[in-house]
């Protein structure tokens, strides 16, 4: 049997290789996930993962909520629940969303196992193979994985310091329509964007919604970071402008703790009905225990004050990162977010953030290469740096190490210019042919 025939028969490291559904080919470990095993080593300063600094959450608040739930509602907390979520928590979620200008009904809220689960459910409901998702470029890494797993294509629209560019959105929509493909929704992270850190201006929120309405495109608004602003709040959510054309995704992972795995979707009535059915088909019901603990926390704790504490922690760390970049890497450019977790860095054209990562890890610093945030493999000249988890001291140390890596790469390019590719040089190979253009 030929090697190709063996693979088709599943004679592979995985004996079931040939039995998987075609869509399983879209499931790939994200570059962020692949980094965690290395970046979690204590000697490595990780500027890679967007892990909230949960140590800033007083344990007694959570322990007290857990204790009350188990003493007063233990039998309910440990039982199956509604596929839509605990009614009281859905009412409280309305209070959270009201901080961003959203008026809604608790009947249109569906509690999910984190907002990423909500993103997966929406994709499951809407995406057929070959459909198109319009998204910012760059965009959230795992969203790209989800869309690809449903065999959809992602059309990236460029951004600037004010967020998604409306004229570019019009051009991309027209091009996709001219190709005969179907656009199912616009996926956007308008506030303190992951990974770019920028925030969509109010004027552009209005204009982008109008463009979507004109073209009958659903807007999927993902908003994990909206309440984590520094100097001033982000503009009101896009959902505050339209309740029929926007599905809004929220989460407690960033404003409380990700370990509870509680998020939600606020959707138009008909979509909400299908989301509940999809939720029940996927998990039967989200965790009653987690929902009741969060509900008790929201009822008894100063949760707005706690969010303000998180803002202070992340603001200090963002300032440490911006200061360190200015001191150690002034020749680079980067975004300066007013909230959230991330700074988006642009490298000199000659450098490749993905190829450079192994050397960075060797120098005990980790980041996420920009290629993780594009469905088309773009982003080699960029990297995402997360300031949410390391201490300010470790952020400075990490940026100093990163500067050593970047300057080392540039020195190699200068020293061996004209002798071969930098990738071959890293591998210790001899150069038998003229080098390709390095960009």
Domain C-terminal end among 271, 300, 329 = 300
Do 382 and 346 form a contact (C-beta atoms < 8 A)?
Answer: yes
pTM of the shown model: 0.89
The answer to whether residue 71 is domain-embedded is yes
The answer to whether residue 381 is domain-embedded is yes
Maximum C-alpha span of the chain: 75
Residues 309-354: pLDDT tens digits? 999 999 999 999 999 999 999 999 999 999 999 999 999 999 999 9
Say if residue 344 is in the same domain as residue 238.
no
pLDDT computed for residue 420 by the predictor: 47
Say if residue 229 is in the same domain as residue 213.
yes
Say if residue 222 is in the same domain as residue 366.
no
Residues 357 and 249: their CA atoms lie apart, in Å, by 32
Say if residue 109 is in the same domain as residue 191.
yes
The answer to whether residue 41 is domain-embedded is yes
Cα-flanking dihedrals φ and ψ of residue 200, to 5°? -70, 125
The answer to whether residue 350 is domain-embedded is yes
Say if residue 70 is in the same domain as residue 136.
yes
Domain C-terminal end among 285, 300, 315 = 300
Helix (H) or strand (E) holding 71: helix 59-77
User: How much is the mean pLDDT over the chain?
Assistant: 90
pLDDT tier at 49, thresholds 50, 70, 90: confident
Give Cα separations from 311 to 101, 137, 227, 234, 304 (angstroms): 19, 26, 8, 13, 11
Residues 95-110: pLDDT tens digits? 999 999 999 999 999 9
Lowest mean pLDDT across 30-34, 94-98, 110-114, 251-255: 30-34
Say if residue 288 is in the same domain as residue 222.
yes
The answer to whether residue 21 is domain-embedded is no
- Averaged pLDDT, 422-434: 40
pLDDT tier at 38, thresholds 50, 70, 90: low
| Range of the structural domain that residue 221 is part of | 60-300
The answer to whether residue 10 is domain-embedded is no
Say if residue 69 is in the same domain as residue 191.
yes
Residue 162 burial (CB count, 10 A): 13
Say if residue 255 is in the same domain as residue 369.
no
Say if residue 367 is in the same domain as residue 417.
yes
- Averaged pLDDT, 45-57: 92
Residues 407 and 157: their CA atoms lie apart, in Å, by 31
CATH of the domain at 413: 3.90.1150.10
Say if residue 289 is in the same domain as residue 312.
no
The domain tally of the chain equals: 2
Do 341 and 368 form a contact (C-beta atoms < 8 A)?
Answer: no
Give Cα separations from 174 to 165, 170, 178, 180, 189 (angstroms): 15, 6, 6, 10, 22
The answer to whether residue 13 is domain-embedded is no
Say if residue 66 is in the same domain as residue 41.
no
Residues 342-354: pLDDT tens digits? 999 999 999 999 9
Written as six digits, the tokens of 136 are 């910012």
Residues 151-206: pLDDT tens digits? 999 999 999 999 999 999 999 999 999 999 999 999 999 999 999 999 999 999 99
| Strand 183-188, strand 333-334: pairing | unpaired
Residues 366-421: pLDDT tens digits? 999 999 999 988 999 999 999 999 999 999 999 999 999 999 999 988 887 754 44
pLDDT computed for residue 37 by the predictor: 64
Domain C-terminal end among 268, 300, 332 = 300
- Residue that is written with structure tokens 């290629």 in the block: 371
The answer to whether residue 34 is domain-embedded is yes
Written as six digits, the tokens of 16 are 């079931």
Say if residue 206 is in the same domain as residue 278.
yes
């Amino acid at each position: 049997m030929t090697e190709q025939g063996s693979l088709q028969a599943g004679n592979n490291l995985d004996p079931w290789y040939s039995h998987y559904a075609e869509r399983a080919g879209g499931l790939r470990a994200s570059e962020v996930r692949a980094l965690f095993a290395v970046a979690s080593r204590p000697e490595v300063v990780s500027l890679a993962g967007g892990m909230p600094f949960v140590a800033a959450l007083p344990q007694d608040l959570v322990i007290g909520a857990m204790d009350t739930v188990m003493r007063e509602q233990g039998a309910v907390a440990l039982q199956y629940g509604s596929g839509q979520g605990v009614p009281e928590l859905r009412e409280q979620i309305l209070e959270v969303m009201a901080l961003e200008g959203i008026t809604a009904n608790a009947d249109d809220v569906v509690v999910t196992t984190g907002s990423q689960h909500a993103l997966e459910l929406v994709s499951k409901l809407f995406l057929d193979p070959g459909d198109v998702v319009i998204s910012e470029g760059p965009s959230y890494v795992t969203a790209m994985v989800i869309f690809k797993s449903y065999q959809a294509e992602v059309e990236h629209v460029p951004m600037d310091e004010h967020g998604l560019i409306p004229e570019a959105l019009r051009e991309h929509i027209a091009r996709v329509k001219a190709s005969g493909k179907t656009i199912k929704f616009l996926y956007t992270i308008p506030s303190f964007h992951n990974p770019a850190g920028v925030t969509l201006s109010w004027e552009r929120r209005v204009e982008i919604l109008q463009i979507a309405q004109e073209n009958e495109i659903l807007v999927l608004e993902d908003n994990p970071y909206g309440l984590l602003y520094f100097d001033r709040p982000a503009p009101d959510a896009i959902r505050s402008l339209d309740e029929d054309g926007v599905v809004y995704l929220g989460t407690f992972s960033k404003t409380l703790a990700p370990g509870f795995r509680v998020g939600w979707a606020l959707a138009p009535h008909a979509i909400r009905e299908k989301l509940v059915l999809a939720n029940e088909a996927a998990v039967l019901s989200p965790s009653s225990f987690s929902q009741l603990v969060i509900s008790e926390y929201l009822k008894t704790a100063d949760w707005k004050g706690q969010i303000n504490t998180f803002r202070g922690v992340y603001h200090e760390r963002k300032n440490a990162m911006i200061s360190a970049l200015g001191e150690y890497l002034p020749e680079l450019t980067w975004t300066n977010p007013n909230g959230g977790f991330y700074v988006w860095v642009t490298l000199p054209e000659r450098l490749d953030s993905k190829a450079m990562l192994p050397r960075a890890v060797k120098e005990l610093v980790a980041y996420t290469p920009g290629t993780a945030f594009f469905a088309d493999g773009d982003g080699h000249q960029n990297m995402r740096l997360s300031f949410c988890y390391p201490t300010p001291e470790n952020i400075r140390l990490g940026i100093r190490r990163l500067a050593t890596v970047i300057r080392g790469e540039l020195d190699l390019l200068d020293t061996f210019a004209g002798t071969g590719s930098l990738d071959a040089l890293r591998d210790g190979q001899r150069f038998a042919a003229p080098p390709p253009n390095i960009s």
